[in-house]
Amino acid sequence: MSLDGLTREDLDAVKQRTAGLSVVSNTALVLMKLVVGFAIGSVSIISEAIHSGMDLVAAVIAFFAVRRSSLPPDDCHAFGHGKYEAFSGLIEALLILIAAALIIREAVGTLLGEGAETLSPDLLVAGIAVMGISAVVNWLVSSRLMAVAKKTESIALESDAWHLRTDVYTSLGVLAGLVLIRLTGIVALDALVAIGVALVIVRAAIDLTRRSLADLTDRRLTDEEEERVRRIICEHASSYAGFHNLRTRRSGPDVHIDFHLVVARGVPVEQAHDLTDHLESDLRLEFPRASINIHIEPCDEACSECASFCPVAKESGQ
């Protein structure tokens, strides 16, 4: 399904449907893993059920965060509700860390002899099948989530996508461990695989925390994104004298851009207004959910004719 040409309202609807898909898939996988995990007595499958359970909670949080962030600005939130997505990402990261702690606790207990004999080798095939199904389902759903997240710049959906992508790799790891147990009979491999799953989860939580905090603390856009902003402004260099004080920040799917635009002294207000409208329109083609503020300043130079000026072009020798 192509997302090109969709309106903001249509994209918000697609985001909500995609978040709902994640909730449904995670619910089914959690139930399946719990049933098989307890039937076999496998701590690695149970740890994967816990992992998927946290993914389910994260998916529910993402679903409501996406719905909330799509609301238009109001009296209490004049700049929109984009930070709900960043906040949800931080909560999801904390949930992932809790899941990792629970998995390590269960795995260490198994290595110390608590429940190590409960593993049923005769039912390992069922566990292998469940892990295979989980890997395939999560790969398909995470791919869909990632595609929509990139198109809509949604950190909540991207976080959910990375959760599920991590689940793909951990499911494959558990699957490999169960196959080795069936081939070698070494039951301790089950707990060792579970600890490996937990370490992968911790790394995902750290990455997610870093990205969420960047949004919550109003960190500027990346160097590449700011360069794109500058080049769009410079496409109109013949209509102004210069620009400075460029400031940017991201708030969930929303982007905030503001800068000072220097125009020739004596330019009519209507002409300056038309120029800013044109700049805003071009910037929104690149950043559809951008909130743009342009402050107009008169040029202080004493020249009789305003020459075009572009800092980016000047730095590159153009």
Q: Looking at residue 229, what is its pLDDT? A: 92
Please tell me the least confidently modeled range out of 4-18, 282-296, 303-317: 303-317
Structure tokens at 88: 């949800």
Does the pLDDT of residue 312 top 50, yes or no?
no
Task: Let me know if residue 230 belongs to a domain.
Answer: yes
Amino acid identity at 28: A
**309 in any annotated domain:** yes
State the average pLDDT over residues 146-157.
76
232 domain-assigned: yes
Same domain, 31 and 133: yes
Structure token digits, residue 193:
């695989």
Residue from 156, 185, 200, 186 nearest 47 by CA:
200
φ, ψ at 5 (rounded to 5°): 85, 0
Q: Per-residue pLDDT averaged across 63-70, rounded?
A: 74
Amino acid identity, position 241: A
Sign of CA dihedral 246, 247, 250, 254: negative
φ/ψ of 220, rounded to 5, equals -65, 170
Domain count, the chain: 2
Interval 225-276: pLDDT, tens: 899 999 999 888 877 778 888 999 887 667 889 999 988 877 888 888 999 9
For the stretch 81-136, pLDDT in tens is 667 777 777 777 787 777 778 777 777 776 776 544 455 666 778 888 888 898 89
Q: How far apart are CA 300 and CA 292, in angstroms?
A: 24
The answer to whether residue 2 sits within a structural domain is no
Mean pLDDT of all residues belonging to the chain: 77
Shared domain check, 243 and 96: no
Looking at the chain, the whole-number percentage of residues with pLDDT higher than 90 is 10
Choosing from 184, 216, 248, the residue where a domain stops is: 216
Q: Cα-flanking dihedrals φ and ψ of residue 247, to 5°?
A: -130, 140
Residue 3 lies in a domain: no
Residues 247 and 131 in one domain: no
Whether residue 259 is contained in a domain is answered as yes
Range from 95-99, 110-114, 179-183, 302-306 carrying the lowest mean pLDDT: 302-306
In a shared domain, residues 34 and 58: yes
Does residue 69 fall inside a structural domain? Answer: yes
pLDDT digits (tens, 9 = 90+) for 12-51: 777 778 888 888 888 888 888 888 888 877 777 777 787 7
- Cα separation, 34 vs 46, whole angstroms: 6
pLDDT at 305: 46
Both 12 and 98 in a single domain? yes
CATH number at residue 252: 3.30.70.1350
Are residue 13 and residue 118 in the same domain, yes or no?
yes
Q: Are residues 203 and 109 in the same domain?
A: yes
Q: What is the largest CA-CA distance in the chain?
A: 90
Output the domain CATH number for residue 145. 1.20.1510.10
Structure-block tokens of residue 34: 């719990």
CA distances for 141 relative to 39, 132, 137, 155, 222, angstroms: 27, 14, 6, 16, 28
Pair (203, 249) in one structural domain: no
Q: Are residues 291 and 201 in the same domain?
A: no
Last residue of a domain, one of 216, 231, 252: 216
For 218-257, give one letter per residue: b (16+ CB within 10 A) or e.
Answer: eeebeeeeeeebbebbbebbebbbbbeebebbbbbbbbbb
Domain, as residue range, for 287: 223-315
CA distance 19 to 67: 9
Same domain, 227 and 199: no
| Residue 1 included in any domain | no
- Whether residue 193 is found in the same domain as residue 258: no
Q: What is the DSSP string of the chain?
A: ---TT--HHHHHHHHHHHHHHHHHHHHHHHHHHHHHHHHHT-HHHHHHHHHHHHHHHHHHHHHHHHHHHTSPP-SS-TT-STHHHHHHHHHHHHHHHHHHHHHHHHHHHHHTTSSGGG--GGGHHHHHHHHHHHHHHHHHHHHHHHHHHHHHT-HHHHHHHHHHHHHHHHHHHHHHHHHHHHHH--THHHHHHHHHHHHHHHHHHHHHHHHHHHHHTTPPPPHHHHHHHHHHHHTTGGG-SEEEEEEEEEETTEEEEEEEEEE-TT--HHHHHHHHHHHHHHHHHHSTTEEEEEEEEE-----SSPPP--HHHHHTT-
pLDDT of residue 264: 83
Domain boundary among 188, 216, 244: 216
Looking at the structure, tell me whether residues 167 and 284 fall in a common domain: no
Separation of alpha carbons 140 and 5, rounded Å: 24
Whether the CB-CB separation of 120 and 200 falls below 8 Å is answered with no
- In contact, 178 and 124? CB cutoff 8 Å: yes
